[in-house]
Amino acid sequence: MKKEFQSAITRGGNILTPDKITITDSFVLWSKRNKFLIGVDSISIPRDKISGIEINGKLWGADIYINSFGGTKIIAKNFLGSDAKRIKEMLSK
CATH code for the domain in which residue 50 is found: 2.30.29.30
Tell me the per-residue pLDDT of 13-69, one tens digit each, with 9 for 90 and over: 788 889 999 999 999 999 999 988 899 999 999 999 999 999 999 888 899 999 999
Question: Strands 40-46 and 62-68, how do they pair?
Answer: unpaired
Which pLDDT score, from 0 to 100, does residue 14 have?
Answer: 81
Tell me the per-residue pLDDT of 6-28, one tens digit each, with 9 for 90 and over: 998 878 778 888 999 999 999 99
The CA-atom distances, in angstroms, between 41 and each of 37, 64, 68, 71, 88 are: 10, 17, 18, 18, 22
Which pLDDT score, from 0 to 100, does residue 12 have?
Answer: 77
**Number of domains the chain is built from:** 1
Report the Cα–Cα distance between both ends of the chain, in Å, rounded. 13
Sheet containing 50-57: give its strands across.
Answer: 50-57, 62-68, 73-79
Which pLDDT score, from 0 to 100, does residue 58 have?
Answer: 87
Look up the domain containing 35 and give its range. 2-92
Which pLDDT score, from 0 to 100, does residue 83 have?
Answer: 94
